[in-house]
């Protein structure tokens, strides 16, 4: 089954890091991605731009972001193929993150050819 690992964190915390600190996190994600790939579980993964660049399409048209009034924003994601939620949670626990960041794990349902 596929699982989405959604990375939530405070953009303000990320922005407070030095360029060297940010690069160290990117390097950790590179190593994590390599581990996912070598284990054969990686389906996809991407970082996302800041929440202020988001757009939302509603019945009323297009609205500029951000939308949620929270300190955490969705910063990126991985989609993995795992044999169980426990395996997905194990991988999520290894995902690099800043203190206070959260990894949400959600099953990706397979609706066939629908």
Question: Number of structural domains, the chain?
Answer: 1
Give the predicted TM-score (pTM) of the model: 0.88
Per DSSP, helices labelled H in 40-113 are 85-94
Structure token pair of residue 69: 């009034």
Residue 22 in any domain: the answer is yes
pLDDT for 8-36, tens place per residue?
A: 999 999 999 999 999 999 999 999 999 99
Torsion angles phi and psi, residue 71, rounded to 5: -85, -10
pLDDT for 56-97, tens place per residue?
A: 888 888 988 766 666 788 999 999 999 999 999 999 999 999
Residue 114 in any domain: the answer is no
Domain that holds residue 73: 2-108
Residue 113 in any domain: the answer is no
Query: How many angstroms separate the CA atoms of 93 and 38, rounded?
Result: 17
CATH code at 76? 3.30.70.1060
Query: How many angstroms separate the CA atoms of 78 and 21, rounded?
Result: 22
């Amino acid at each position: 089954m596929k699982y989405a690992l959604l990375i939530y964190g405070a953009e303000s915390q990320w922005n407070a890091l030095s360029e060297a600190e940010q690069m160290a996190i990117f390097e950790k994600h590179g190593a994590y991605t390599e581990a996912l790939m070598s284990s054969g579980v990686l389906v996809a993964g991407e970082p996302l731009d800041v929440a202020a660049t988001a757009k939302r399409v509603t019945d009323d048209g297009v609205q500029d972001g951000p939308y949620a009034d929270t300190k955490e924003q969705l910063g990126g994601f991985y989609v993995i193929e795992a044999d169980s939620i426990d395996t997905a949670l194990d991988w999520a626990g290894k995902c690099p993150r800043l203190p206070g960041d959260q990894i949400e794990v959600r099953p990706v349902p397979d609706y066939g050819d629908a």
